[in-house]
């Protein structure tokens, strides 16, 4: 490609011929992906470098075409010629500012005063094998054409900051072109190939060693081309992949951008304090993605020739940039913004400052739960401190997060009797899109603060969700149930003994202590304990109808009840992760332990991908880590024709919980089990794919769904009830 540019560029300019290379998988996804990433850096933020990670995925074997392998072998063989070509060519400006002298209009060799354009220092070399935790890949450097093509595009952009003008472009297109290229920012760029396993990385290194050592001699090249399957560990073969292998394959290309939240911070010795992760994703690279990219480039060339450069040899990014991404998205190649966050560099802080910040974070986390300053000082509920690394990195956002929590609370959750926040979210009546910084854990804490405020402002009997949530947990213990039942009759007698004589007081007492069916034993035990705290012999000497005695008794019972509920709520928060708050709270029914564990596994998948909320796609990934995969779940997915591309969730998975509860009801199950979550997840994925709404009852009647439930039942009978390892 570089030889063609050196040989024919000037002639193409003279004749008005437009030559564009690298219009396939090399290097359309890389070019458009790095542009998409750098366009997310809104001033004053600036990028320093963008690292691309290519991940090839397939349900079957990953197999490439022989021509790709042959190109790699011949590329190694001609490496010396490429270096010689680069040394012989005139020096072009790197991505830099051009100041002072202007280029000589006569001579070919141009002189510049170079001032660094890319903010910050040059990127470090890094380890040979990199473990990129945020995207869940281990990666090594990939010596592909992508990095060179992207750098050529950036160099051309530096020479033409507003892009290449069209041969006869319209004013509207010129405005669009200038707006597009002004948002693209230069950055250091490198490409790595990734694998989820270390074994996959070793295989990649092995193939690279074979190509590097044997590709330099004619006999070595003969061996490589004669036995491609052997030297590539089965990744390449002469007859190429089968149709099933092509159909099941896909790719993901992650772009991890590092930079500065403010361009003024980009001194030569400073570290980047901001990170943006984007992703390009699509079908199989050679037989599907490459034709898509090539055809879309050709269509732009045919339909918009007057808006493209008059002539020359260029890279695809600089020619098709303003229009190509939209066309690719319309044809099955997605561009997603995964995460955008500013890191807090703890290494720059003194130890005393770090300790102070950690203490503030702990207090902030506790106050979010509605605790008073006195309770914070005592830490009576033994709230665990937040993870220092995660919270310190998000420190810059905490004031904004706190403001969003307050805004979310005030806008969506006014203290009104009968308001059920979880069900409102599940029914789509609460829109969380206006709170981009809030994660599911943050929203769970907002809801807990709402429940806490309700408890302080209304009589306890007006909040069945609080008492059910706090007291039903106690009833799970058989010994506690038995003890409560033993005291129930005594407690009722005690209440009758101290019943106030006038109707108004009787009504007030009844409202405050009316027992609910789900927690009557626990309520009665609390009342009994409150009565037993009084000195009964002394009471017998007094009038039982004394107003002061009655008020004292009522206050003591209320205090005991409030303490019990509050302690149960916060004890539960200390034991369980906040991500399961919607399940523990119980508006969607009872869920089995397997489902709780599944939610935590899915939350781990969410964290790895950097998404805000758990979605059905994370649950689908979590299923692969459970024994449910031993059943016919793959056939279930195949039957409903799903394409399971990961997408960031836009809201917590409360609708998924409601669907699982409905499926459990259809099958007459008391608790929501893991198999119900599986079908609810697949139903949600299928429903999102279908243009028409899919009825849940009709979906559960599908043969594949019935077969799945039958397989699960057989599995439980054979191996036991637990489906989690």
Report if pTM > 0.75: no
Calpha distance 467→686 (Å, rounded): 37
Q: What secondary structure letter does DSSP report for 346? A: G
Residue indicated by tokens 């796609």: 617
Calpha distance 155→641 (Å, rounded): 44
Q: What secondary structure letter does DSSP report for 526? A: H
User: Pairing mode, if any, of strands 274-283 and 249-260?
Assistant: antiparallel
Query: What's the pLDDT tens digit per position in 705-722?
Result: 888 888 888 777 766 655
The first and second tokens of residue 212, run together, are: 């590097």
Long-range contacts (CB closer than 8 Å, 24 or more residues apart) made by 471-479: 471/518, 471/519, 471/522, 471/523, 471/564, 471/565, 471/568, 472/518, 472/519, 472/586, 473/568, 473/572, 474/522, 474/568, 475/518, 475/519, 475/521, 475/522
The helices-and-strands tally (H runs, E runs) of the chain is 32, 11
Calpha distance 2→207 (Å, rounded): 25
What pLDDT does 430 receive? 64
- Pair 373, 398: CB distance under 8 Å: no
Question: At 283, phi and psi to the nearest 5?
Answer: -75, -170
Calpha distance 514→511 (Å, rounded): 6
User: Pairing mode, if any, of strands 96-99 and 113-116?
Assistant: antiparallel
Phi-psi region of 240 (alpha: psi -120 to 50; beta: other; left: phi over 0): left
Burial of 603 (0-12, 13-18, 19+ CB in 10 A): buried
**Cα 716 from chain centre:** 33
- Pair 144, 26: CB distance under 8 Å: yes
**Nearest residue to 144 (alpha-carbon basis) of 95, 215, 71:** 71
**Nearest residue to 297 (alpha-carbon basis) of 687, 631, 18:** 18
Intervals of the chain under pLDDT 50: 96-116, 344-350, 365-371, 376, 379-396, 398, 416-418, 455-523, 526, 530-531, 533-546, 550, 553-554, 556-558, 560-577, 642-646, 725
What pLDDT does 103 receive? 40
Question: At 65, phi and psi to the nearest 5?
Answer: -80, 150
**Cα 712 from chain centre:** 30
The first and second tokens of residue 470, run together, are: 């706090």
What pLDDT does 23 receive? 92
What pLDDT does 349 receive? 44
Annotate 403-457 with three-state secondary structure. Answer: HHHHHHHHHHCCCCCCCCHHHHHHCCCCCCCCCCCCCHHHHHHHHHHHHHHHHHH
Q: Which residues contact 152 (CB under 8 A, 6 or more apart)?
A: 5, 315
What pLDDT does 613 receive? 66
- Pair 328, 28: CB distance under 8 Å: yes
The first and second tokens of residue 357, run together, are: 């910040």
Calpha distance 547→583 (Å, rounded): 43
- Pair 453, 415: CB distance under 8 Å: yes
Q: What secondary structure letter does DSSP report for 123? A: P
DSSP H or E stretch at residue 554: helix 547-575
- Pair 252, 29: CB distance under 8 Å: no
**Cα 232 from chain centre:** 34
Query: What's the pLDDT tens digit per position in 394-453?
Result: 444 545 666 666 677 666 665 543 455 666 666 666 666 666 666 655 666 566 565 555
Q: Which residues contact 607 (CB under 8 A, 6 or more apart)?
A: none
Partners of 182 in the β-ladder: none
- Pair 513, 461: CB distance under 8 Å: yes
CA dihedral 451, 453, 458, 463 (to 10 degrees): 0
Q: Say how many C-beta atoms besides its own lie within 10 A of residue 211's C-beta.
A: 22
Phi-psi region of 577 (alpha: psi -120 to 50; beta: other; left: phi over 0): beta
Calpha distance 152→22 (Å, rounded): 12
Question: At 314, phi and psi to the nearest 5?
Answer: -135, 170
Partners of 249 in the β-ladder: 58
Q: Which residues contact 167 (CB under 8 A, 6 or more apart)?
A: 16, 305, 306, 307, 308, 309, 310, 311
Query: Domains in the chain and their CATH numbers?
Result: 2-342 (no CATH), 464-578 (no CATH), 588-719 (1.10.1780)
Burial of 387 (0-12, 13-18, 19+ CB in 10 A): exposed
The first and second tokens of residue 209, run together, are: 């060693």
Q: Which residues contact 584 (CB under 8 A, 6 or more apart)?
A: 469, 572, 576
Q: What secondary structure letter does DSSP report for 286? A: I
Q: What secondary structure letter does DSSP report for 39? A: T
- Pair 623, 636: CB distance under 8 Å: no
Phi-psi region of 459 (alpha: psi -120 to 50; beta: other; left: phi over 0): beta
Angle at 124 between CA 123 and CA 128, to 5 degrees: 125
Q: Which residues contact 307 (CB under 8 A, 6 or more apart)?
A: 166, 167, 169, 170, 173, 177
Concatenated DSSP letters for 196-245? SSHHHHHHHHHHHHHHHHHTTSHHHHHHHHH-HHHHTTTSB-TT---HHH
470: helix, strand or coil: helix
Concatenated DSSP letters for 611-646? -SS--HHHHHHHHTTSGGGGTTHHHHHHHTT-----
């Amino acid at each position: 490609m570089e030889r063609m540019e050196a040989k024919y560029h000037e002639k193409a300019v003279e004749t008005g011929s437009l030559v564009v290379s690298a219009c396939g998988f090399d290097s359309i996804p890389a070019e458009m992906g790095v542009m998409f990433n750098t366009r997310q850096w809104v001033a004053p933020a600036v990028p320093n470098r963008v690292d691309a990670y290519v991940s090839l995925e397939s349900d079957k074997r990953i197999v490439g075409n022989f021509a790709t392998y042959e190109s790699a072998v011949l590329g190694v063989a001609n490496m010396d010629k490429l270096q010689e070509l680069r040394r012989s060519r005139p020096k072009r400006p790197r991505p830099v500012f051009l100041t002072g002298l202007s280029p000589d209009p006569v001579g070919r060799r141009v002189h510049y005063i170079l001032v660094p354009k890319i903010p910050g220092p040059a990127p470090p070399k890094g380890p040979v094998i990199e473990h990129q935790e945020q995207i869940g890949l281990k990666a090594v450097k990939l010596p592909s054409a992508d990095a060179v093509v992207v750098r050529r595009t950036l160099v051309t952009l530096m020479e033409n900051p507003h892009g290449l003008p069209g041969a006869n472009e319209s004013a509207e297109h010129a405005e669009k072109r200038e707006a597009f290229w002004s948002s693209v920012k230069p950055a250091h760029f490198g490409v790595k190939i990734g694998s989820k396993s270390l074994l996959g990385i070793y295989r990649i290194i092995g193939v690279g060693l074979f190509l590097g050592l044997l590709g330099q001699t004619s006999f070595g090249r003969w061996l490589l081309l004669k036995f491609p399957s052997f030297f590539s560990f089965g990744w390449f073969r002469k007859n190429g992949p089968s149709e099933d292998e092509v159909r099941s394959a896909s790719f993901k290309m992650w772009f991890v951008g590092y930079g500065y939240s403010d361009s003024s911070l980009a001194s030569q010795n400073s570290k980047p304090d901001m990170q943006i992760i984007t992703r390009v994703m699509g079908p199989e690279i050679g037989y599907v993605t490459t034709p898509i990219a090539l055809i879309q480039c050709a269509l732009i060339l045919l339909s918009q020739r007057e808006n493209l450069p008059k002539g020359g040899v260029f890279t695809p990014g600089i020619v098709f940039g303003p229009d190509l991404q939209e066309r690719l998205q319309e044809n099955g190649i997605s561009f997603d913004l995964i995460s955008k966050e500013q890191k807090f560099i703890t290494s720059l802080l003194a130890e005393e400052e770090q300790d102070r910040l950690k203490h503030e974070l702990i207090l902030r986390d506790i106050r979010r739960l509605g605790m008073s300053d006195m309770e914070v000082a005592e830490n009576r509920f033994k709230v665990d401190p937040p993870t220092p690394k995660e919270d310190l990195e998000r420190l810059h956002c905490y004031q904004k997060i706190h403001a969003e929590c307050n805004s979310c609370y005030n806008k969506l959750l006014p203290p009104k009797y009968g308001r059920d926040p979880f069900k409102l979210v599940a029914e789509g009546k609460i829109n969380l899109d206006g709170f981009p910084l809030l994660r599911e854990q943050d929203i769970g804490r907002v809801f807990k603060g709402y429940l806490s405020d309700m408890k302080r402002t209304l009589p306890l009997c007006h909040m069945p969700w609080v008492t059910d949530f706090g007291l039903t947990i106690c009833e799970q213990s058989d010994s506690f149930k038995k003890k409560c039942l033993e005291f129930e009759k005594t407690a009722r007698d005690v209440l009758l003994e101290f019943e106030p004589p006038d109707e108004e007081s009787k009504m007030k007492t009844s409202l405050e202590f009316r027992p609910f069916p789900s927690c009557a034993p626990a309520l009665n035990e609390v009342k009994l304990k409150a009565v037993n705290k009084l000195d009964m012999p002394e009471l017998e000497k007094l009038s039982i109808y004394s107003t002061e005695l009655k008020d004292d008794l009522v206050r003591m019972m209320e205090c005991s009840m409030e303490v019990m509920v509050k302690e149960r709520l916060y004890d539960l928060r200390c034991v369980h992760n906040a991500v399961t708050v919607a399940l523990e709270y119980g508006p969607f029914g009872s869920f089995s332990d397997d489902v709780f564990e599944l939610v935590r596994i899915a939350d781990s998948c969410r964290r790895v991908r950097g998404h805000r909320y758990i979605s059905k796609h994370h649950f689908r990934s979590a299923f692969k880590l459970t024994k449910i995969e031993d059943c016919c779940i793959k056939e279930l997915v195949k039957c409903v024709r799903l394409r399971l591309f990961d997408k960031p969730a836009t809201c917590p998975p409360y609708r998924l919980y409601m669907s699982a509860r409905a499926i459990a009801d259809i099958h007459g199950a008391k608790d929501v089990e893991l198999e119900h979550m599986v079908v609810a997840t697949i139903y949600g994925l299928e429903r999102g794919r279908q243009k028409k709404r899919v009825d849940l009852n009709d979906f559960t009647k599908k043969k594949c769904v019935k077969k799945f439930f039958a397989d699960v039942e057989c599995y439980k009978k054979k191996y036991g009830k637990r489906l989690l390892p």
